Structure 1
Amino acid sequence: MTLLALGINHRTATVAVREQVAFTPAQLDCALEELCSLPQISEAAVLSTCNRTELYCVTDAAGEQIVLNWLGRFHNLRVDDLARCAYHYLDNDAARHLMRVAVGLDSMVLGEPQILGQLKDAYQQARQARGLGGELERLFQHTFAIAKQVRTETGIGKNPVSVAYAAVSMASRIFDDFSRSRALLIGAGETIELVARHLHEAGVRKLTVANRTRARAENISVALGGEAITLTEIPEALAEADIVISSTASPLPIVGKGMMERALKKRRHRPVFMVDIAVPRDIEPEVGELADVFLYTVDDLQEVIEENRRHRQVAADQAESLIEHGVSHWQHERRIRNGGELIREYRRHGEALRDLSREQALERLARGEDPAAVVERLAHQLANRLMHQPTQAIRDASSKEEHALLEAVPRLLMPPKPAFETHLPATPRRHKDNTPA
């Protein structure tokens, strides 16, 4: 079986494509069930964030195309269009990619810590959906161990610059003094919580957090002296907001062009800075066409993020080295496991032949046949049965000139004699009168 990692990310696909391929939380259980039901797939896990959608599977040789076709069907997308922005990795490369994702080396923000939590969530979701078997279970556990080592032994996580920080940093270029600005944050997840903290530390005048449930919004806003509202109250809050940053898991936009037009009229067309971090997007792209709106998506934060990447490059190089060591260790353990399974299968085969010969010998003894003759026949029969398949394989390899297989035969089937046998005294020669020499 083959380990496969297939997906798209912020480097290979635009936000417009990523939001079409993203899985909402409500879709994940169904997606995992469908994916694991494919005959070629024995294990599967799905990672879906604002910057990437990736499928990790244990599959057969044709699995890549099967998984790509399934992804297209699930999201009602043309497979050819999807293939143009998709990437895939197999076996060691797939393991390496997963480890790079876990430590933030493949993230838009180099070393960002949120991705590890998202990956752990994906692992738990797959586990609950019974999508994990021994192969992916061991890979994820090994990956989490490597991520912990990288965080401990390198500076990749020091002074982290997240997408949340990048969004606030971009806002600071437009608003010189946050103390006169009012912010509306839509969502109540980890990213919005980070945005709220950054804005609070920057001294924003008023902070409002909107969420489907008011209680979750209050968990963020109360500690920072802000206000919590529900999503239905957003139209009124937009009229007061100078800064709007949104990150939810909603499958449909929350802020539309018409809603924003009405808010701008109440604001008397004072400009609004908006950042849509969500994928799928929370704010309709047409909102950016309005004259007094400065709308940015997660892809527009690249400039701020590149500055962070330069500062962390040394730590990133150290992390790459640790990951290579981690991949080598995982590969070594995997080979041992594969060899162990082959050994178990070979022993089961030998034991089955042994049991068959023994039962036949016992039946002959029960019929009263000569024990010496029975033992002689047992030994002859068992030897023939054990050697039949290898002998046939050697003949086939010889006829096909499969030299590598033939060179392995002596090592596999004809091990050197034990040392004690090589030191046994020679049988003494006898004289014609049969007396010892």
Structure 2
Amino acid sequence: MSFFALGVNHQTASVELREKVAFNPERLTTLLTEQYQHHKMNDMVVVSTCNRTEVYAMAENADMVLDWLAQTNGIDVKQLSNHVYRYENSDAVSHLMRVASGLDSLMLGEPQILGQVKTALALAKDAKVVSQNLNQIFEYAFYAAKRVRSETAVGSHAVSMGYAVAQLALQVFSQPAKLTVMVVAAGEMNSLVAKHLAEMGVAKILICNRGRERAEKLAQEIAHRVEVEIIPFSELAENLYRADVISSCTGSLYQVISFADVKAALKKRRYQQMLLVDLAVPRDIDSKVESLDGVYLYGVDDLQSVIDENLAHRRQAAVEAEVMVNQLVTQLVTQQKINDAGETIHHYRQQGEQLSQLELIYALQRIQAGEDAATVLQEFNHRLTQKLLHPTSILLRHAAKDEDPSHFEWLKENIQDIFENTRQVKVKT
């Protein structure tokens, strides 16, 4: 059995193909449960996000994993094979660590992927399709991701508009738990802003959108984290004063937040500072509001320059993170080899103990039958020594016949070292 990682992502497959192989949690739970019940390939974890679908599995070969992915989604194997990447054993471990650490993400260093991988593991464990060995690999990958996050700067710089707004709010206001945030328009960009700020732990988010349906959808997505209130778009101006942070991205051809609106809001707030972020093109907010004391105004260009600089920092930090991942992969593979050797050694010792017991029983029977004890013990020692050293002798003979003499030399030197160390221990005792 080998450990395989096989899948498609934003680099290898189109959106259309990624949609065909994507799994939602309900369907995936059903499929994995069926795998367990029918004793098929039942040691696997499936990670499925908008940018990737990957299968991590202990299997006899990669084709088994590819066939499963193709068949469960009704796709021709040959078509799918042109877009999948495959990794085996240490390379698969390295890939999993890179994914969990955000090093393989569309947005370098994005933090959400670690939670998604953890959820995928939990779902597979619930379906009883995760062995102890596979679970240990994933737990070590989580440890690697934590090390990458805490010891490198790969995730410490804002590289998306939504995340950048959230980080900007942290810089302007030192206590996010007291903040009220208003998002003007509930499109994709402001949805990300709202989600980032909700995760940051702000007190309240006001959603002001032209249509009620989209506002309610966003409210449902974040209501488990933060208090939410929906405001009619017609009441935008009169509610500005309630917000410490305002993010606007309407797509309107006209400004929706005027100088007079912000000035009036500032007065109502008794001139407590406000952060306004204009993510719209054309702009939603009158640029003159920047002249008001206590108002911080940032536009798309301001944030983009910060993002470009931060992305450069992340790429530089990613080099350090890649080195760390390679070191951790080596550690895990070495530990697995030691564990495997431990099992072999345990089995070898058991065999030696059985041989010893058989020879001891035979010797005791001879002594009880009246044979000379000294003679029996000498023969017992000789017979046991011969049987215990027989496997080593066979190995040395085979190595001596090998075309590569280095194998025999390595065995000879190491066996001599072992016996020398054993003699030294006996002398000390």
CA distance in 2, matches of 1:180, 1:328: 47
1:203 Cα shift? 7.7
1:73 to 71, 74, 79: 71
- SS for the counterpart of 1:56 is strand
Question: How far did 1:406 drift?
Answer: 1.8
Q: Is the 8 A contact 2:44 2:130 kept in 1?
A: yes
Cα distance between partner residues in 2 of 1:349 and 1:148: 43
What is aligned with 2:393? 391
Decide whether the 8 Å contact of 1:196 with 1:207 is kept in 2. Answer: no
Per the TM alignment, residue 222 of structure 1 is displaced from its structure 2 partner at its CA by 7.8
How far apart, in 1, do the equivalents of 2:185 and 2:424 lie? Answer: 90
Deviation at 1:333, TM superposition (A): 2.2
- Return the match for 1:417 from 417, 420, 428: 420
- Shift in CA distance, 313/78, structure 1 to aligned 2, threshold 3 Å: same
* Matching of residues 7-406 of structure 1 within 5 Å: 7-33=7-33, 43-60=43-60, 63-161=61-159, 182-183=185-186, 193-194=195-196, 204-206=208-210, 208=212, 216=220, 219=223, 223-226=227-230, 309-310=311-312, 312-406=314-408
Q: What one-letter code is carried by the residue in structure 2 that aligns with 1:43?
A: D
In the alignment, is the contact (CA less than 8 A) between 2:144 and 2:325 conserved in 1? yes
Report the Cα offset of residue 107 of structure 1. 0.5
Aligned residues: 337
Query: Counterpart of 2:29 in structure 1: which amino acid?
Result: D
Q: Contact 1:206/1:226 (CA < 8 Å) preserved in 2?
A: no
The DSSP-based 3-state class of the residue aligned with 1:224 is strand
One-letter amino acid of the structure 2 residue matched with residue 58 of structure 1: M
Q: Structure 1 residues 121, 394: closer, same or farther in 2, change over 3 A?
A: same
| CA gap 1:6/1:423 in 2 versus in 1, 3 angstroms | closer
Structure 1, residues 236-294: CA drift from partner, whole Å, max 9, x if none? xxxxxx88xxxxxxxxxxxxxxxxxxxxxxxxxxxxxxxxxxxxxxxxxxxxxxxxxxx
Higher RCO (C-alpha under 8 Å, 6+ residues apart): 1
Given that 1:110 and 1:308 are in contact with CA atoms closer than 8 Å, whether structure 2 keeps it comes out as: no
Flag the 1:225–1:214 CA change in 2: closer, same or farther, 3 A: closer
3-state SS, counterpart of residue 420 of structure 2:
coil
Q: Distance in 2 between matches of 1:145 and 1:348?
A: 35
Distance 1:19 1:379, change over 3 A: same
Bigger shift: 106-115 or 348-357? Answer: 348-357
Any unmatched runs of 5+ in structure 2?
Answer: 165-181, 232-249, 252-305
Structure 2 contact 207–229 (Cα < 8 Å) conserved: no
- Give, in whole Å, the separation in 1 of the partners of 2:383 and 2:225: 81
Could you tell me how far 1:25 is from its partner in structure 2? Answer: 0.7
Distance across 2 between alignment mates of 1:11 and 1:115: 16
Aligned Cα root-mean-square deviation (Å): 4.4
Alignment partners' CA distance in 2, 1:375 and 1:180: 90
Residue aligned with 2:117, SS? helix
Structure 2 counterpart of 1:17, which letter?
Answer: L
Q: Following the alignment from structure 2 to structure 1, what is the Cα–Cα distance between the partners of residues 212 and 367?
A: 91
Residue 408 of structure 1 is matched in structure 2 by: 410
Distance 1:353 1:212 in 2: 75
- Is the 2:205–2:229 Cα contact (8 Å) retained in structure 1? no
What is the alpha-carbon distance in structure 1 between the residues aligned to residue 122 and residue 133 of structure 2? 15
Equivalent residue number for residue 174 of structure 2: none
Which stretch of the first structure deviates more once superposed, 349-358 or 78-87?
Answer: 349-358
Q: Please report how far the alpha carbon of residue 11 of structure 1 lies from its aligned counterpart in structure 2 after TM superposition.
A: 0.5
Question: After alignment, is 362-371 or 17-26 more displaced?
Answer: 362-371
Asked if structure 1 preserves the Cα contact closer than 8 Å seen for 2:207 and 2:230, the reply is: no
Give me the whole-angstrom Cα distance separating, in 2, the residues matched to 1:4 and 1:88.
Answer: 7
TM-score (norm 2): 0.65
Rounded Cα–Cα distance in structure 2 between residues aligned with 1:422 and 1:115: 53
Q: Judging changes above 3 Å, is the alpha-carbon distance between structure 1 residues 210 and 181 closer, same or farther for their aligned structure 2 residues? A: closer
1:116 Cα offset (Å):
0.7
* Structure 2 SS opposite 1:226: strand
Distance 1:332 1:3 in 2: 15
Q: Please say if residues 197 and 224 of structure 1, whose CA atoms lie closer than 8 Å, have aligned partners that are also in contact.
A: no
Offset from partner CA, 1:80-103 (integer Å, 9 cap, x none): 111111111122221221111112
Specify whether residues 158 and 387 from structure 1 end up closer, same or farther in structure 2 by C-alpha distance, changes over 3 A only. Answer: closer
1:272 aligns with none
SS in 1 for 2:75: coil
Q: 1:356 to 1:29 in 2, by over 3 A?
A: farther
How far apart in 1 are the matches of 2:419 and 2:49? Answer: 57
CA pair 421-215 structure 1, distance change in 2 beyond 3 A:
closer
The more displaced of 390-399 and 106-115 is 390-399
Instruction: Find the aligned partners of 1:212 and 1:374 in 2 and give their Cα distance.
Output: 91
CA contact (8 A) 1:29 1:129 kept: yes
* Aligned counterparts of 1:345 and 1:162: Cα–Cα separation in 2: 55
Structure 1 runs not aligned, ≥5 long? 167-178, 228-241, 244-303, 425-437
